[in-house]
Amino acid sequence: MRSTFTGTAGAYRLTLLAGAACALALPSMASAQDAEPEVGSEESSNVIIVTASKREQTLQETPISVSVTSGDVLEQAQIRDVLDLQTVTPSLRVSQLQSASATTFIIRGFGNGDNNFGIEPSVGVFIDGVFRSRSAAALSDLNMIQRIEVLNGPQSTLFGKNASAGVISVVTKEPQYEFGGLAEVSYGNYNALVVRGEVTGPIAENVAFSLDGSYNRRDGYAEIVNLDNDVSNRNRWSARGQLLIEPTADLKIRMIADYGKIDEDCCLVSTLVAGPTAPAIFGVGGALDTNFFSYNTFLSQVPRNTVDNYGGSIQADWSTGALTFTSITAYRELKNFLDQDVDFTSADVVTETRDQEVQTFTQELRVSSDFEGPINFLLGGFYFDESIQQDSALTTGADARTFFALLTGNPLTFNGVEAGLGLPQGSIFSAGPLTAEQYAMDNTAWSVFGTLDFEPVDGLIFTAGFNYTDDKKDFALAQQSFDELSNTNLVDAFITGATLQNPGIPDVFTRAQFQALPSAVQQGLLAVATNPCTPTSEAGTCNALLGLTPFQFQPPFLTIPNAVEPGQTRDDKFTYLLRAAYQVSNEINIYASYATGFKASSVNLSRDSRPAFGDFIPGPGRSSFAAPASPVTNAGLGVANLGTGSRFAGPENAEVYELGLKAQWDGFGFNLALFDQTIKGFQSFLFTGTGFQLNNAGQQSVRGFELDATIRPSDNLVFTFAATHLDPTFDDFTASPVGNLTGFRPGGIPAWSLATSATHTLEIGSNKLITRVDYAHESNVDINNGLPTFNGLVTARRDPRIFQRETNLVNASTIFQLENGLEVGLWARNLLDDQFIITVFDGVAQAGTVSGYPNQPRTYGGLVRYKF
């Protein structure tokens, strides 16, 4: 006889590559929600139902470290989107950076993929079982939510794609056969207006529907002073429709279609340090504000970001005897457009546009058993097919030429260079296109996975799970670079000029001509051509052009695929799970597990993509003439000023050891997880001041624990407390943008993250007054390990100029619920107006300047809600 503590084999999800039509022909079981009441809210009890293991179980029974936020808590705490979710989930960190769509999810200190569509996030986001492959596709307001589960650590044997760091699983409410719904209007400071509603009910005896939508508009909390325009506003809406069809007791079909739209001016960038380039900004009439928390900024244009995110899914469940078949078929499209000033000053220096589109199809099918005997299983598969298209461009502004000329110390520098190189006067940094870029990537992946549970005695379950994934990416990148200076190699130009002036040396215009010179002549020319001039240099002993090298921001681009680089990645990996779980008593459960995880290669879909060293070997000063033999050079593919870097980062491989204890008594419960987690080849994507560097960190590990507890001293009072302690280390990271970080603590990962709350319900006759206060804290931490330009290479001693962050957020709400369904409330987020730096980066093309993102200031308001 099976115990009430079920293993996760029957709880995992299985996918075979069957199509939706086939899936709909298969009947399925009704969910446990139909058989038992929803108890996911703190107000109903301290028992929480979750599906982290792909089967509805109590949180106590689930042998996974998981944090759960119920729909009631989302309403009470006024958590509108995933950005606010981190205030109640200490293992999760969410950062929104330069645009509304540039959002990073981090669990236990691991996460990436915010600013490059070629990099899939290490934290997988699933909404109603459907994988959202880019963070921009998961930013809609949280409406009609049943619960959100945050699964900590690798989850590759449960979820089919990119869960090497963890999973955020959003579960919406199913349609109900009883008519009901709600309507809500909220108004707050910054003219914040939120309108949302939902309605559900029967269409026929076995068919139910639901509709929900939200509209969220708010003025920006920051001001572009010179343009008299606010920034960091809110302007988004979403809508979703669902059908639930249950033609028989064994078959359930759930159809969902949704659309979300974001059209915002985002986001505020402030200046922390005005570097030595600031006088040049002022010299062209520009301005900047170094009062970081003034929420004032100066820009040459309003930053615009639009996101269209829509799609649909069909889930079919059929049960026959002890077997359950489930299929989820989904298709989604994501369109992201941004147009913004990327020098972040009011000087018109450079702007960027991106136009991105993602089309994604997923299909999964699982079959799981629920036998009476000691063995149960799950077997399935997952199919993923995605295409990405991106057109980007940089545009040189009207102030760029004067600004860069002032940085040289001579406003006529470029005129002299143009005359010397035979370029048209006024061509260097002329206003107009700087680059035009075209990127594309197709990704197909499939996986098979399974779990086997063995329960030799009641309460003791041994679980073994596996996942085999095959991932293929084909990508193409092309770019046109229009700046004449960047199209000229200054070493080669000097050599050409020197040979033209020396009748004893043959004229050199090509690499072949240079290589044909006697070795001694080559070395003599290179010695002078690569020697920068100083105030004491003698004429003919140095190359005065080398002083212009820092201004060659966008050199020509080597198109890929080409004869040397195929423009593809091919990855496959077998991962597995071993776990023992034991129900000590009705109140206490323990487990121990070892799991591995996998994330396939990520592609650098940006202008910073470069061939790997070995495929190409640049000459001194990136000289093409003196470039050693390499496949790229030998194939005649070299372009001026070509450097090396990476086209892609290899796979991430994760492993975690975990011990867990879950206990639940009347009025008190807690969950504790101890873990030792490692990711080999963590895909690091960091800004260097003029571009982004993508490479693999050799190994990053973290040890720590997660604790959450609920105390209910009375029916009217609930306390929660959650804590995460992290002790991370770069075990091996020799090629970071700031040097060898091996042995260092990774920046941005606080040692302590706390989240605590108190909820009190005062009954006034048949009415209720519900008051909630919550507090979120992150201990003081270095935001990063230094900035490549501002801090330079790391040393054994910590640089005191590294910026730090500590957060102390207090949120509060009070809601008066009348018996007739009407609710009136007040709410505040960041009630004490705590100020902290989200992150910092080197000023774009402004050496010594540091820019960053300040947090959102205090917001507050009132609401009226009616439930029926």
- Mean pLDDT over each residue of the chain, to the nearest integer: 90
Give Cα separations from 213 to 112, 141, 235 (angstroms).
Answer: 30, 9, 14
Q: Which of 9, 57, 101 is nearest to 355 (CA)?
A: 101
What's the pLDDT tens digit per position in 203-253?
A: 999 999 999 999 999 999 999 999 999 999 999 999 999 999 999 999 999
Here the tokens at position 106 are 């981090």
Let me know: does 493 contact 593? Beta carbons within 8 Å. Answer: no
Tell whether the model's pLDDT for residue 44 goes beyond 70: no
What pLDDT sits at residue 2? 34
Strands 375-396 and 432-457: antiparallel
What's the pLDDT tens digit per position in 741-754?
A: 999 999 999 999 99
What pLDDT sits at residue 32? 30
Let me know: does 755 contact 774? Beta carbons within 8 Å. Answer: yes
What's the pLDDT tens digit per position in 734-743?
A: 988 889 999 9
What's the pLDDT tens digit per position in 516-551?
A: 999 999 999 999 999 999 999 998 899 999 999 999
Let me know: does 494 contact 624? Beta carbons within 8 Å. Answer: no
Give Cα separations from 177 to 28, 204, 211, 288, 684 (angstroms).
Answer: 19, 9, 13, 58, 49
What's the pLDDT tens digit per position in 813-860?
A: 999 999 999 999 999 999 999 999 999 999 888 889 999 999 999 999
What pLDDT sits at residue 352? 96
What pLDDT sits at residue 57? 67
Tell whether the model's pLDDT for residue 376 goes beyond 70: yes
Dihedral angle, C-alpha 597, 603, 606, 607, nearest 10 °? 130
Q: Provide the residue count of the chain.
A: 868
